[in-house]
A and B are shown apart, each in its own frame.
Chain A
Amino acid sequence: MVSRFRFIKLIRKLLQFKHQDMIKTKWLIYTVIIGLMPFFIRTFISIFDKTATLEYWINETDFIGLGLVLNLSNINELEDKEFEDRIWKTKNIGLSVVYIVLFSSILAIVTYSDFKHNTDINKWTVKICAILLSFVSFFFSYSIYNRLNSIR
């Protein structure tokens, strides 16, 4: 009877997560992992299908999609909150918008060149650029959520 009461008390304590503590974890699960879903699916297919090539596995649109999702989540998280440092908030929202425009431009160029079968674009250079930009977007998004998680 006493141990059951203690067990219930422990469960209640574990469930009393403050929203603040869960911000980074939620970001990681809802934004990053979901954003990487197309890449995970391609990886899964590449593992089981022997005809899959490296060019198929590393697709620039997957990473551009990840970058767009990360920057949109930054704007969504920052927009409705009040901060002491309003300049920091405005700077980060502004940079997220710049990244969204950048990613959208590269996506438009890639999509159009695929449509026209344009050989002007070096595919591997575009893939490396998309991966680099999405990595920097991840790091940028991490810095924002780290701050939201740490400072009350």
Chain B
Amino acid sequence: MTTTEIIIVLTLFGVVIGLIVSIKTILETRKKYYNEYIKRKRNEKT
């Protein structure tokens, strides 16, 4: 395996894992933020 191929493999590994973790975090954040917003609105009403 040449040096360039090693760099390509490491890059693909980094890109795939990074994208999965980032997208998961963003989706979880949106869900939590929405739930917190609903809770705050309910508390304001009462």
- Which A residues fall within an 8 A CB radius of B? 88, 91-92, 95, 98-99, 102, 105-106, 109, 113, 118, 120-122, 125-126, 129, 132-133, 136-137, 139-140, 142-144, 146-147, 150-152
Jot down 12 A-B pairs with beta carbons below 8 A, ordered by A. A88-B25, A95-B21, A99-B18, A106-B7, A121-B7, A122-B4, A133-B14, A136-B22, A139-B18, A140-B21, A143-B29, A146-B29
The A-B contact count (CB < 8 A) is 79
- Which B residues fall within an 8 A CB radius of A? 2-4, 6-8, 10-11, 14-15, 17-19, 21-23, 25-26, 28-29, 32-33, 36
Chain A's closest residue to B9 (CB) is A129
Give the residue of A95, A105, A113, A152 whose beta carbon is less than 8 angstroms from that of B10: A105
Contact (Cβ within 8 A) B36 A151 = yes
Given A147-B29, A151-B36, CB of A102 within 8 Å of CB of B10? yes
Q: Name A's interface SS.
A: helix
Contact (Cβ within 8 A) A121 B18 = no
